[in-house]
Structure 1
Amino acid sequence: MTTQTSRPAAWFSWASLMLSAATLGVILWACLTAWGAVVHGHPAYAIVLTISALGALLLGWLSLRKIRRRSKDERAETIRIGVWGVVWRVLLIALGVVWIAILAWLRPYVAVEPALAAMHSDKTVTVTETTTDIELRPTDAKTPESSTGVFFQPGALVDARAYAAVLRPLAEDGHTVVITKQPLGIAFLALSAFDSAKASNPEVAQWVVAGHSLGGTVAAIEATEKNAPVAGLLFYASYPANDISETLTVPVESISGSLDGLATPAKIKASRSNLPADATFTVIKGGTHAQFGSYGPQSGDNTPTISNEAARKQISEASVSFVDSVSK
């Protein structure tokens, strides 16, 4: 079956042109509002943006050329196109809209102060940043270096640098800290990062795996791997996806906020049954989800009644106390 139309598929060319413009607009918005996270994050997002931009430019050029050609060639006014021709054109436009939404959703939360200041090395901590991770290494001769390191998984879509300030006290206490940069800001895409951290730091005899939000859920998976020399599991506003009360045999510390709008107190309480009976819980009164890093407010979170500085101090102190307790 066919249909006869005026200026066949002209709507598709115009829709494609608008789709191209929208894609470029989202990419420009992401770069202007999250440039620091794009540049300092895992290269996967930058690659996706680049490929998407090139594809949008090509689509726009082809669409514009077809529009101009139709306006010059009146003989193309009427042709017959099949129903399936209409269907696949609509499907392509729909897929393009979905891709634009994905690009917008993947825009990362950008690290802000004091995390950016914590990224600088000084006489106590050496900070090394690569395309795939951030290392905070103790350098003060007065502080003996511990054989226990900390491997950290950021929360979903959060700039890895955002955790430098809250984790730096661990390095100042003598522990090597590795913060992984997740592909596209998704912890499940960084399951191999722990193995890379172990290989790059052979001097670290054992590790505390930690994570914020979704990163904590993935950290729990890493902690239960049989080949992982794990000394402890540290949750920041997080909990395991499954029951690990019987499979996990190392100490667990859960630090959460009483006003967290995402990892709510009810969810943290419910997680107790999925953790070993001796797991300890520290609650930051008045603390929220976004206060476990320095990246600004987060959608769905509540308004804190404690300052970012006070919350960060309590989180850092609880973290140091826990890691010290499991260190050799």
Structure 2
Amino acid sequence: MSGETPSTTGRDGAGRTGRTTWPVLVTAVAALLVVGWVSVTAWDALVHAHPAYPILLAATAAGAAATIVLEILRPTPATGWRRVVRIALLVLAVAWIGVIGWLRPHSAIEPALLAMTSDETVDVVETPTSITLAPASGGDRTGVFFQPGALVDARAYAAVLRPLVEAGNTVVIAKQPLGIAFLALPAFDAARAAHPDLDRWVLGGHSLGGTVAAMQADAADEDADAPAIGLLLFASYPAGDVSQSLTVPVDSISGTRDGLATPAKIEDSRADLPGTARFTVIVGASHAQFGDYGPQAGDGIPELTDDEARDLISESSVDFVTGLSG
């Protein structure tokens, strides 16, 4: 009878493996689902994004698919230290999936997409790392370098910034790695190198992008070649006190219905900016109305239409930049 007793080795082995194999398989499938969700819901933004995020998505999908195949064809017994390692890797994988999903960008919508079209007045050039809108007739020697808000499609700012181009300025919008402005710190130097004909720059940005733009303007305001000559903040404020170190004019444009860069936060930022900073308040504007990418979680409810808010933001921006370059 002992010879006929079913062996528990294979079953136990499968069971031991199962305790980690099934979580591994479920996690790998979840990774594929998240990549698929991001791809379906933000495909157009991915096509036009900095390549870092699409590459991470592709690598995640490839790794998940390979994990599924290996776990099915050759499961590894989860005993001793191997089990501890597998559990640790599972935890990291779950965290990674969360990050990949969180990095999904806010896609640009109209009229920003239409503003990405070249015509007789504006030339639009898009590369994997930037968008350049330049006057078709040449323009002056002032450039505007703009940092988008966190996780926002760079194209979302084309409509609100296009009037600056129509006024004679070249605008360069950074495509940030993973949609995070801090990862695009070298982008300003790249823009200056790519446009040697521009000998002065206004740094600008929305939300987190404005925070990074303030850092870049502070670092470049005394450069001998192609210095920063102004700082344009869209619903933003500096990370620290630059009131003494920043030597260029500032225009802080904010909205009274902003639920993220709230009016109270903007008011508090006065102490961190030079005393000459201009504060332009758009009554009724929300945080997401500084670009064209739809509603944003945590934002306030606007009291202006998107077109009304955009026109007022553009008008203030043109007035500020024209005053600097004039």
Instruction: Tell me which interval the TM-score lies in, with the shorter structure as reference length.
Output: over 0.9
Q: Is 1:188 the equivalent of 2:185?
A: no
SS at match of 1:194: helix
Deviation string 1:124-156 (CA, Å, 9 cap, x unpaired) is 10111011100000114xxx7121110000000
The 3 A distance-change label for structure 1 pair 157 and 80 is: closer
Match of 2:115 in 1: 118
Residue 86 of structure 1: how far off its partner (Å)? 3.0
Q: Is 1:172 the equivalent of 2:174?
A: no
Q: CA RMSD in A?
A: 1.6
The answer to whether the Cα contact below 8 Å between 1:5 and 1:80 also exists between their aligned partners in 2 is no
Task: Give the aligned residue type for 2:283.
Answer: K
Match of 2:38 in 1: 30
Match of 1:96 in 2: 93
Q: Distance in 1 between matches of 2:279 and 2:140?
A: 24
Residue 5 of structure 1: how far off its partner (Å)? 5.4
Match of 1:197 in 2: 191
The answer to whether the Cα contact below 8 Å between 1:13 and 1:66 also exists between their aligned partners in 2 is no
Match of 2:58 in 1: 50
SS at match of 1:151: strand
Task: Give the aligned residue type for 2:59.
Answer: I
Aligned length, in residue pairs: 311
Residue 85 of structure 1: how far off its partner (Å)? 3.4
Task: Give the aligned residue type for 2:303.
Answer: T
**Map of 1:69-148 to 2, 5 A cutoff?**
81-82=79-80, 84-140=81-137, 145-148=139-142
Q: Is 1:9 the equivalent of 2:17?
A: yes
Q: Is 1:159 the equivalent of 2:153?
A: yes
Residue 81 of structure 1: how far off its partner (Å)? 2.5
Match of 2:273 in 1: 275
- Give me the TM-score of the superposition, normalised by structure 2: 0.92
Match of 1:75 in 2: none
| Alignment gaps of 5+ in structure 1 | 71-78
Q: Distance in 1 between matches of 2:58 and 2:40?
A: 14
Residue 266 of structure 1: how far off its partner (Å)? 0.5
SS at match of 2:16: coil
Match of 1:306 in 2: 304
- Runs (4+) off by over 4 Å: none
Match of 2:143 in 1: 149
Q: Is 1:259 the equivalent of 2:257?
A: yes
Match of 2:70 in 1: 62
The answer to whether the Cα contact below 8 Å between 2:20 and 2:78 also exists between their aligned partners in 1 is no
Q: Distance in 1 between matches of 2:279 and 2:297?
A: 25
Q: Distance in 2 between matches of 1:135 and 1:125?
A: 10
- Give me the TM-score of the superposition, normalised by structure 1: 0.92
Residue 64 of structure 1: how far off its partner (Å)? 1.7
| Alignment gaps of 5+ in structure 2 | 1-10
Match of 2:219 in 1: 225
Q: Distance in 2 between matches of 1:165 and 1:66?
A: 54
The 3 A distance-change label for structure 1 pair 147 and 95 is: same
Pick aligned residue for 1:39 from 39, 47, 51: 47
Q: Distance in 2 between matches of 1:267 and 1:9?
A: 53
SS at match of 1:9: helix
Match of 2:236 in 1: 238
Task: Give the aligned residue type for 1:114.
Answer: P
